Amino acid sequence: MSISRKQSDSSIRDRMLELMEPIDRQIMMTDDRSDLLMIACAMLHRAKDIFDNELGRRATEEIFIRTIVEKNEKT
Do residues 36 and 30 touch, judged by C-beta distance below 8 A? yes
Work out the burial of residue 52: count CB atoms within 10 Å of its CB; fewer than 13 is exposed, 13-18 middle, 19 or more buried: middle
Which pLDDT tens digit goes with each residue over 30-73? Answer: 999 999 999 999 999 999 999 999 999 999 999 999 999 988 88
Residue spans of alpha helices (H) in the chain: 3-28, 33-55, 57-74
pTM of the model: 0.75
- Answer whether residue 1 shows pLDDT above 50: no
What is the reported pLDDT for 13? 94
Q: What sign does the dihedral 18-23-26-27 (CA atoms) show?
A: negative
What SS3 class is residue 32?
coil
